[in-house]
Amino acid sequence: MFHPPFCPNRECRNHHLSTKTAAWYVRNGSYFSRLFGRIQRFRCLCCGTGFSSQTFSLDIFVKKKVPYRRIFSHLITSSGIRDTARLLKVSPNTVNNRISRMARQAIAIHSSLSSLISLQEDLVADGFESFVYSQYFPNNINLLAGKESQFWFTSDYSHLRRKGRMTEYQKKKNHQIQKRFPVHRRSIYRSFQALVRFSLDLRKKSSRSSVTLFTDEHPQYVRVMCDLPGEERGLITHQRINSKLPRTVQNDLFSVNYLDREIRKDNSDHTRETVQFARNANNCMERLAVYRLYHNYIKPYRIGKREESRKTHAEWAGIPAQHIASEMKTVFTRRRFFSRSRWLSSSDILIWVRGISTPMKQMAEYLPAYSWA
């Protein structure tokens, strides 16, 4: 028998319940769904809000059941959206919808589990370059990872101007595009600034007096560190590494170099010189959020026969295995709520509410009402 864990009304005092109790709601009949059968309804005794067991399901408001695990397995193995849709015999929009749902699950689980980390290692940050819509709209996705654990903490999206060699026709077209979709000159600056703020927040939750941040020699990174307030400069040490050094395990930037390689290999949006590139910036970041869940909490830290090699990156970062198992058990079934998700980074909030602008897109992004609950 299903027992609702809390009231879905974010304004109700029963919304943030942490323990199950039967004193705050009553059963209020049921209704029949052709897809899910008989569904129990409830009513909150405090605010009077009516809801059902389907309110807490990841399949809320769906018209067709699609196996999330199969979409997940295709997504992390470089399958395209249309390929996945053909295999599952659904439309590409249906696949994108299910990925959006999984992305919000992934963000909520990541924020919950990463809040348990007491930072015991240095951090590494670097930019991952790709493009959305066309090669006239490159982007930079800054990644922040643990130096020893390769735990992927957060990432931040920023648009770039097209650079490199172009023909006269391409230069003229690029100039016209820049007028229609201007890109801020300090986009990388703002993106890396968000990562530095996140790093300082991680230090607050640890016993360390300071944290070391390794990056390459990008000039915008230096400007961000120089613009930090005086009291914060002593809390973070910036180490610059030449990006042309061999990308071996001994390289201090190995964590982000490793993530760069894995994303290129496993995510079809970023595989070079193919037709499988992202058409929407929010869809692009949602797929990365799902891949981050796989990388941190499912994928082994190293492939080998030793027991420690089978640990996940999250376990190496200090998250207990039982907490990971508890959260991952319901990743494809129990719906996570935005109002109950804590420790969300600014980048994750933008992904959740689909707040990243897509080049040349005229209409605003559609955000279902249930995703904002």
The per-residue pLDDT for range 298-307, each reduced to its tens digit, is: 999 887 666 6
Kindly tell me if the per-residue pLDDT of 37 is higher than 80: yes
Kindly tell me if the per-residue pLDDT of 213 is higher than 90: yes
For residues 95-121, average pLDDT: 94
Give per-residue pLDDT as tens, 227-282: 998 888 889 999 999 988 999 999 999 999 999 999 999 988 888 767 788 888 99
Average confidence score pLDDT of the chain:
90
Kindly tell me if the per-residue pLDDT of 364 is higher than 90: no
- Give me the pLDDT at residue 91, please: 95
Give per-residue pLDDT as tens, 88-102: 999 999 999 999 999
How far is C-alpha 118 from the geometric centre of its chain's CA atoms?
A: 21
Kindly tell me if the per-residue pLDDT of 123 is higher than 80: yes
CA 202-203-209 angle, to 5 degrees, is: 175
pTM of the model: 0.93
Q: Per-residue DSSP letters for 19-87?
A: S--SSSEEEEEEEEETTTEEEEEEEETTT--EEEGGGGBTTTT-SS---HHHHHHHHTTT--HHHHHHH
Percent of the chain topping pLDDT 70: 98
C-alpha 16/C-alpha 4 separation (Å) is: 12
Closest CA to 297 of 280, 277, 321, 275: 321
C-alpha 230/C-alpha 33 separation (Å) is: 61
Domain positions in the chain are: 68-372
Closest CA to 319 of 173, 109, 155: 109
Q: What is the dihedral of CA 91, 92, 97, 102, to 10 degrees?
A: 120
For residues 60-87, average pLDDT: 93
C-alpha 264/C-alpha 254 separation (Å) is: 15
Confidence of residue 8 (pLDDT cuts 50, 70, 90): very high
Query: 143-146: which pairs have CB atoms within 8 A and are 24 or more residues apart?
Result: 143/256, 143/259, 143/260, 144/195, 144/198, 144/199, 145/255, 145/256, 145/259, 146/121, 146/122, 146/255, 146/313, 146/316, 146/317
At residue 364, the 3 state secondary structure works out as: coil
Give per-residue pLDDT as tens, 258-269: 999 999 999 888
For residues 336-340, average pLDDT: 92
- Give me the pLDDT at residue 307, please: 60
Give per-residue pLDDT as tens, 152-197: 999 999 888 888 888 889 889 888 888 888 777 788 899 999 999 9
Kindly tell me if the per-residue pLDDT of 308 is higher than 60: no
Percent of the chain topping pLDDT 90: 63
